[in-house]
Amino acid sequence: MMIRPSDRSESRDAIIGRATRVRGRISGEGSLVVEGVVEGDIAVRGDVTLAPGSRAASNVEASEVTLRGDLEGDVHAAGAIRIESGARVRGNINGDSVSLEDGAEFVGRVELAFDLPAELAGASAASTANRRR
């Protein structure tokens, strides 16, 4: 696809404005900011931000996810998930790291993919070894 230099924006971002509602699936390469309402799944390569006052009934798949609005659905992030003050989240979250701020509401399960620290990993290995003995 030809992109001309006259194109006024090089931004790959999408913004669902405050007075906008999307019913359907949002996907693609860029990042997404939701200020309005989304009913449908979101799967982007970039980051997803739910602004204060936004509402989403979506499963979210993204790089990093920042939540300040209402979300009903599961979150799957390659990077960090931040549930900030004012957010209301119902769903399971699965990411590289998760932070839950004071003032945020969250109902769901947190699943983190991380390696056990060496001493713990060593201890469990040792205990397995002990049991064998």
Partner 1 sequence: MASTVIGVGITIEGEVTSEEDVLVQGTLRGKLIAKDAVTIDHGGTVEADIASGPVAVAGNVTGNIASNDRVDLQNGARVVGNVKATRITIADGAQFKGNVDMDV
Closer of 8 and 133 to partner 1 (Cβ): 8
Name the one range near partner 1 by CB under 8 A: 10-18, 51-59, 93-101, 118-126: 10-18
Closer of 14 and 110 to partner 1 (Cβ): 14
Phi and psi at residue 59, to the nearest 5°: -85, 135
- Cβ of residue 46: shortest distance to partner 1, in angstroms? 9
> Any contact of residue 17 with partner 1 (CB under 8 A)?
yes
> Any contact of residue 52 with partner 1 (CB under 8 A)?
no
> Any contact of residue 44 with partner 1 (CB under 8 A)?
yes
> Any contact of residue 118 with partner 1 (CB under 8 A)?
no
Query: Which residue from 2, 113, 118, 129 is in contact with partner 1, where contact means CB under 8 A?
Result: 2
SS3 labels along 31-53: CEEECCEEECCEEECCCEEECCC
Instruction: Give the span between the Cα atoms of 123 and 86, in whole angstroms.
Output: 40
Which of 52, 51, 24 shows the shortest CA–CA distance to 38?
24
Which of 75, 53, 36, 12 shows the shortest CA–CA distance to 3?
12
Q: Rule CB under 8 A: which residues touch partner 1?
A: 1-4, 6-32, 36, 40, 44
